[in-house]
Structure 1
Amino acid sequence: MMGIPEDQLKTWAKQGSVQGSSETYNLVKETLEEDVAPYHGKDVSVLLQGSYGNDTNIIGESDVDIVIRLKDCWQSDLSELNEEQETAYKEAYSNATYGHVEFRKDVLTVLRNEYGKGVEDGNKAIYVPPSDARRATDVVAAIQFRRYFKFNGLQDQSYAEGICFYDKAGTRIANYPKQHSENMTKRHQDSNEWLKPMVRIIKNARTKMVNDEALEAGIAPSYFLEGLLYNAPLECFGTNYNTSLQKVLQWMYDTEDDTKWVTANEQYYLLRDGYATCWPTGNYATFKNAIIKLWNDW
């Protein structure tokens, strides 16, 4: 069997250290939850997400992703409600006086007061630089997001609960980290625990291609790579890593209609152009061609 040797894939499959990320998470969480925070007393929770939260972090991956979520207010997607239900929803709820804009400013203030001027207000997240006892951290200040399926009153409503936040351009980004984590864990179990090591292999392959200048950085974010492997048929996994990767790549190559693939949270399609929550189709095609070439030329 050709392709990338099993020994290399075994190395790539290993999970990176979690001790440093756990310590970082606890330190930043403690800061965000201080009694002096302007939002103290509101319904706020701090969550670890991203690669460390989903056990797909690789060796050498250092950034820790944290979400601080305000649940006292929310934004909604009402597109699936009929006119009568939408009217009922708007009559039931009023606009919040403390929303995402105010909350993000307060979170930024708390982090700068604790960690200094090195804290940067980024496009989507607030960047906290590393120190001796803390890894680099991206903190997303988010509020609750509700995607409604039904609203006939407060006692008869149905929605998927996620989070949302805004980038600097004012684009709303809605996501569902709880569903993502739960679905990835279930799929991992269904695959006899092959899924997450395979995600780490794919991520390490991406890193090698970027380092070798065979793939542009940013083409294949980890979130979308997790979504890609989430859609792979269970029969792709097993026997050994070489066989599993070969089957995954063959599945990617053979699939004629990938438009029905979904993100791991199952709230969005994985491949679409023009959506912040989807992987641009051209970027996926570039990644697919690059990793197949990596396999063939090894």
Structure 2
Amino acid sequence: MVTEEQLAGWTGPSSATEQDKQELTERMIREAISAHEAFKGFSFSIYAKGSYANNTNVKTESDVDIVVECEEVVYWEEVSPSEGGHPASDAYEGVWTPEYLREQISAALSAKFPGAVTSGTTAFQITSNTSRVDADVVPCFTFREYFPSGYYRQGTKLFKVGGGTIDNYPKLQLNNGRAKNTRTNSYYKKTVRILKRLEGILVDKGLADEQASYLLECLVYNCPDEYFLRSTWRAVMQACLADIYNYTMRPEPTEDSDRWLEGNGVKYLFHFTQKWDRASVHKFANAAWNYMEFE
């Protein structure tokens, strides 16, 4: 049985040494972008996203994800094109195309990290060394989703190499996670770390398939706030695992309000476009429940 003391030990973030390496990696990426001549005089936002930014990372996932958002161009869509919502504007005619953005980010990173940069279909990967961790650098543009009232929800739009785009909301995820952590007296993020470490043990023992770190964070995010205020970590984990198990045992709800969302509060957690499905999560929750020896 996993004891209360073990669970308490799993609540902490990655080690101070790993955190120092993560911070150095982020700082070096910022320096690379700031020093590159092509970016000077233009509006860019550079920020961390994912487990590192959300402070839910554990030792096994010490890499960092850094967004380089070009704010010179704003891509937009309307939730209801027939009702509108986007104000009249002129088409962008500047230099910052998706191809040019990738080209310049590649040049900036290669100058700072010679021989350590490779390009994937979405992000640039920077390999680690003794002083820094692995990093993904995501090139994207500002994206706004307009409602008929004129209100918009802001995120990012990424153009994949070879075609296709991905809309995401990293700042919403970060803000929502912080808000939930505040509401739960900081127990939300500690619970995420427990689940991630539990998943690592289950995978190492061959008791469960590997689950995406982001998925685990979102599963815990969907658990009611009151679960995290229970008196013991075993009670917290029992409530959360039961909720995940029971939700994934049923078909996807037909009512939108009953469906679980990603931590950004926008995208459905279970959708045909996701890399995971309800059945695999249900199987994982069952394995976690049994390993914890809950009744």
**TM-score normalized with structure 1 length:** 0.86
- Structure 1: gaps (5+ residues): 152-156
- Structure 2: gaps (5+ residues): 254-258
Is 1:172 the counterpart of 2:162? The answer is: no
Q: Name 1:94's counterpart in structure 2.
A: 91
Structure-to-structure mapping, 1:203-214, within 5 angstroms: 203-214=196-207
1:76 partner letter: W
Counterpart Cα distance in 2 of 1:163 and 1:47:
12
Q: CA deviation at 1:169?
A: 4.7
Q: 1:234 aligns with which of 212, 225, 232?
A: 225
Q: 2:12 aligns with which of 2, 11, 14?
A: 14
Counterpart Cα distance in 2 of 1:168 and 1:214:
36
Counterpart Cα distance in 1 of 2:157 and 2:201:
32
Once the two structures are superposed, residues 211-231 of structure 1 have per-residue CA deviations (whole angstroms, 9 ceiling, x without a partner) of: 2233333xx222222211111
2:152 partner letter: Y
2:160 partner letter: D
Counterpart Cα distance in 2 of 1:198 and 1:275:
23
Q: 1:148 aligns with which of 146, 149, 159?
A: 146
Identity of aligned residues (%): 26
Once the two structures are superposed, residues 92-140 of structure 1 have per-residue CA deviations (whole angstroms, 9 ceiling, x without a partner) of: 2314442222101210111112211331101321111112322111111
Q: CA deviation at 1:29?
A: 0.9
Q: CA deviation at 1:16?
A: 0.9
Structure-to-structure mapping, 1:1-298, within 5 angstroms: 3-17=1-15, 18-34=19-35, 36-82=36-82, 85=84, 92-97=89-94, 98-150=96-148, 157-217=150-210, 220-237=211-228, 238-255=230-247, 256=250, 259=253, 260-275=259-274, 279-296=276-293
1:31 partner letter: A
Q: Is the 8 A contact 2:12 2:190 kept in 1?
A: yes
CA RMSD of aligned residues (A): 2.3
Q: CA deviation at 1:290?
A: 3.0
Q: Is the 8 A contact 2:58 2:197 kept in 1?
A: yes
Counterpart Cα distance in 1 of 2:98 and 2:39:
12
Q: Name 1:154's counterpart in structure 2.
A: none
**TM-score normalized with structure 2 length:** 0.87
Q: Is the 8 A contact 1:120 1:128 kept in 2?
A: yes
Q: CA deviation at 1:274?
A: 2.3
Q: Is the 8 A contact 1:25 1:66 kept in 2?
A: yes
Counterpart Cα distance in 2 of 1:227 and 1:145:
22
Counterpart Cα distance in 2 of 1:37 and 1:284:
46
Q: Is the 8 A contact 1:31 1:114 kept in 2?
A: yes
Counterpart Cα distance in 1 of 2:139 and 2:280:
28
Structure 1 range deviating more: 139-148 or 279-288: 279-288
- Secondary structure in structure 2 of the residue aligned to 1:71: strand
